[in-house]
């Protein structure tokens, strides 16, 4: 077996060149996980459960097709890797056959921009921020702004059905796709533009979008782009409670004035968001200090202490009665229209008792829009863990869903939430939860219990287990429960596109 694998490695070297094939220990260690917090907990406790056997960096579609051919011949497991910012374990090498990471990052070129039709053709390895900057320099935007924009790729967005912060205006990534090219698990190159341009039959794009590397490797995509908006307005309102704020968002979305970004924070999240300003004026409020520290410049000892008692923290947070903050950004190229949307949304906010808080909270959000998530490592360093859960449902159940999920996890983790990615028919809830345990086994047990309790509740209430982070390993079991018989459909797709199951085994619906 060893000798065989040596031969396989040699065939990859003759295909890609020595530099682009690695089994060096630093690479094996780096690629042993993505940013799934369960695996982060493991590495913090020095537990390394998985490792890939080889990392490959192909430079073009032909090389990808050849890698797939070799993998089929030797029954290897290929794991497509964009930037590894996934939070569901979708790139973790768990298969018992040899795991080959195929990192797409060398393929990061803009292939074409059709400025008349506003279509960008880009390779899947392009990273969000440099791509957006290049478009901005020409006066355009992709309109896709995930918080991970610095560390996620076009291929990863497509494979995990990503949503950017401005999804209310530009849609999720799947709404921007005109066509894509992919190498399937059986080595075929598919270009959906051949099919889509004739505008008949099924939408092949949507089969690959969200398939998390289990059907093939996406090589490139044609995506809609937009003109950079010239005008922007910022508004913020404070509502008495979540229910009033949600009614306002629903009415705004259903009247087309929901804006480019619209977010509503629960009491605790609002308290933190509004607290910063006041902190400068007054520091004596001990409760405020507790929660602000959690989100900002905290000491590790302090963190350790508070994270060990989530029930107490959650009870304290129930004392907060300041209200729920909503921020709205409107943008566009027609000043009168942008103003109209802002004024109309203000009328709706006022109808539900929203108190005008001015521009400042919305501007502050924009300034810090990518920074919040990167504060999480401090919690891991303090021996705790933190994760986020993005679920969604229709308007009629959204508030109840929030309270039910909160109820089943509040004795295990400290939590707060905001509502974002709103639509005409519903909205997503983004929970952030944090907790701590003394040792690895207890930490993982607690982490798993939070997810199980929450997702059991989500399924019971007919909501969706994921809005934009994808499925990976972490939600695979619950997704199967949720859609039941429909998994048969995926099996048929898998048989067609990847008959030997060489693509990302054990993820999404793929068998191990
Ligand atoms: C700090 C932080 C903030 C985040 N904020 C957001 C957010 O606002 N919105 C959001 O949607 N997500 C967010 N995420 C989650 C993550 O960034 C997304 O899931 C993103 O789409 C993953 O992209 P990636 O390139 O890192 O993919 P990876 O993690 O490398 O891979 C994700 C999945 O896609 C597959 N894949 C990757 N490239 C290809 C390809 N070319 N062909 C086929 N399959 C492929 C992989 O096999 C895997 O199944 C955040 C994550 C972090 C750490």
Domain ranges of the chain: 2-105, 110-227, 231-460
Shortest-distance Cα residue to atom 28 of ligand 1: 84
Q: Is the CB of 146 under 6 A from ligand 1?
A: yes
3-state secondary structure at position 464? strand
Shortest-distance Cα residue to atom 14 of ligand 1: 148
- How far does residue 165's CA lie from ligand 1's centre (Å)? 15
Residue 335's CB: how many other CB atoms inside 10 A? 11
The C-alpha atoms of residue 268 and residue 321 are separated, in whole angstroms, by 9
What would the 3-class secondary structure string for 390-415 be? Answer: EEEEEHHHHHHHHHHHHHHHCCCCEE
- How far does residue 148's CA lie from ligand 1's centre (Å)? 8
Q: Is the CB of 166 under 6 A from ligand 1?
A: no
Shortest-distance Cα residue to atom 21 of ligand 1: 157
Arch. (CATH architecture) of 110-227 = 2-Layer Sandwich (3.30)
The C-alpha atoms of residue 81 and residue 124 are separated, in whole angstroms, by 10
> What is the enclosing helix (H) or strand (E) of 238?
strand 231-239
Low-confidence residues of the chain, pLDDT below 50? Answer: 279-280, 283-284
The secondary structure of residue 148, as a DSSP letter, is T
Q: Is the CB of 35 under 6 A from ligand 1?
A: yes
3-state secondary structure at position 219? strand
Q: Is the CB of 225 under 6 A from ligand 1?
A: no
Shortest-distance Cα residue to atom 8 of ligand 1: 146
Handedness of CA 403, 404, 410, 411 (dihedral sign): positive
Shortest-distance Cα residue to atom 5 of ligand 1: 147
- How far does residue 120's CA lie from ligand 1's centre (Å)? 20
Residue 16's CB: how many other CB atoms inside 10 A? 18
Atom from ligand 1 closest to the CA of residue 213: 44
Supply φ then ψ for residue 106, to 5 degrees.
-70, -20
Shortest-distance Cα residue to atom 39 of ligand 1: 155
Atom from ligand 1 closest to the CA of residue 507: 49
Q: Is the CB of 504 under 6 A from ligand 1?
A: yes
Pairing of strands 324-332, 261-265: antiparallel
Q: Which residues of 165-187 are buried (b: 16+ CB within 10 A; e: fewer)?
A: bbbbbbbbbbebbbbbbbbbbbb
Nearest residue to 91 via CA among 506, 455, 448: 506
pLDDT of residue 504: 98
pLDDT of residue 279: 46
Which superfamily does CATH assign the domain made up of 231-460 to? FAD-linked oxidase, cap domain/gating helix (3.40.462.40)
Residue 140's CB: how many other CB atoms inside 10 A? 18
Q: Are 174 and 221 in contact (CB under 8 A)?
A: no
- How far does residue 253's CA lie from ligand 1's centre (Å)? 27
The C-alpha atoms of residue 451 and residue 92 are separated, in whole angstroms, by 18
> Which of 148, 157, 471 best tests ligand 1's pocket when mutated (most atoms within 8 Å of CB)?
148
> What is the enclosing helix (H) or strand (E) of 64?
helix 61-74
Q: Are 477 and 194 in contact (CB under 8 A)?
A: no
The C-alpha atoms of residue 434 and residue 417 are separated, in whole angstroms, by 12
- CATH 3.30.43.10, domain 2-105, yes or no: yes
pLDDT of residue 283: 46
pLDDT of residue 512: 86
CA atoms within 13 A on the CB side of 57: 15
Integer angstrom CA distances of residue 469 from 148, 413, 482: 11, 20, 17
Q: Which residues pair with 80 in a beta bridge?
A: 102
pLDDT of residue 284: 47
The C-alpha atoms of residue 84 and residue 440 are separated, in whole angstroms, by 23
The C-alpha atoms of residue 446 and residue 150 are separated, in whole angstroms, by 30
Q: Is the CB of 468 under 6 A from ligand 1?
A: yes
Q: Is the CB of 159 under 6 A from ligand 1?
A: yes
Supply φ then ψ for residue 190, to 5 degrees.
-110, 130
């Amino acid at each position: 077996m060893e000798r065989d694998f040596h031969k396989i490695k040699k065939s990859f070297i003759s295909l890609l060149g020595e530099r682009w094939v690695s089994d060096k220990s630093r690479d094996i260690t780096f690629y042993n996980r993505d940013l799934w917090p369960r695996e982060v907990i493991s590495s913090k406790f020095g537990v390394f459960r998985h490792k890939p056997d080889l990392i490959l960096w192909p430079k073009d579609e032909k090389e990808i097709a050849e890698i797939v051919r070799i993998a089929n011949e030797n029954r290897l497991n290929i794991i497509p890797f964009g930037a590894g910012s996934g939070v569901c374990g979708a790139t973790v090498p768990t298969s018992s056959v040899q795991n080959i990471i195929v990192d797409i990052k060398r393929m990061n070129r803009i292939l074409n921009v059709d400025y008349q039709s506003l279509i960008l053709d880009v390779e899947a390895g392009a990273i969000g921020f440099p791509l957006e900057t290049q478009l901005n320099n020409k006066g355009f935007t992709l309109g896709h702004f995930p918080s991970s924009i610095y560390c996620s790729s076009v291929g990863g967005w497509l494979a995990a059905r990503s949503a950017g912060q401005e999804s209310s205006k530009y849609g999720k990534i799947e709404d921007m796709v005109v066509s894509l090219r992919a190498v399937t698990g059986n080595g075929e190159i598919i270009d959906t533009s051949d099919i889509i341009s004739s505008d008949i039959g099924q939408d092949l794009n949507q089969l690959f979008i969200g398939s998390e590397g289990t059907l093939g490797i996406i090589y490139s995509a044609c995506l809609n782009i937009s003109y950079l908006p010239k005008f922007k307005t910022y508004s913020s309102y404070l509502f008495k409670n979540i229910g009033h704020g949600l009614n306002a968002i629903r009415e705004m979305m259903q009247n087309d004035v929901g804006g480019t970004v619209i977010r509503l924070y629960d009491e605790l999240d609002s308290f933190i968001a509004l607290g910063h300003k006041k902190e400068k004026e007054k520091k004596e409020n001990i409760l405020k200090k507790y929660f602000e520290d959690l989100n900002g410049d905290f000491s590790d000892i302090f963190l350790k202490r508070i994270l060990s008692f989530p029930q107490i923290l959650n009870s304290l947070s129930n004392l907060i009665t300041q209200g729920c903050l909503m921020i709205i950004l409107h943008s566009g190229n027609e000043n009168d229209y942008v103003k109209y949307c802002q004024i109309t949304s203000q009328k709706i906010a006022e109808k539900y008792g929203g108190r005008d808080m001015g521009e400042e909270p919305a501007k502050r959000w924009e300034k810090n829009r990518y920074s919040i998530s990167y504060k999480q490592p401090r919690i891991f360093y303090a021996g705790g863990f933190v994760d986020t859960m993005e679920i969604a449902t229709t308007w009629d159940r959204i508030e109840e869903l929030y309270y039910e999920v909160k109820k089943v996890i509040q004795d295990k983790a400290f939590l707060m939430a905001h509502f974002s990615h709103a639509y005409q028919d519903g909205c997503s809830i983004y929970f952030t939860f944090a907790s701590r345990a003394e040792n690895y086994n207890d930490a993982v047990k607690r982490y798993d219990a939070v997810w199980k309790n929450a997702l059991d509740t989500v399924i019971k209430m007919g909501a969706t287990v994921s809005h934009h982070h994808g499925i990976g390993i972490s939600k695979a079991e619950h997704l199967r429960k949720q859609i039941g018989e429909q998994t048969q459909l995926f099996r048929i797709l898998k048989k067609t596109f990847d008959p030997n199951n060489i693509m990302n085994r054990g993820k999404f619906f793929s068998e191990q």
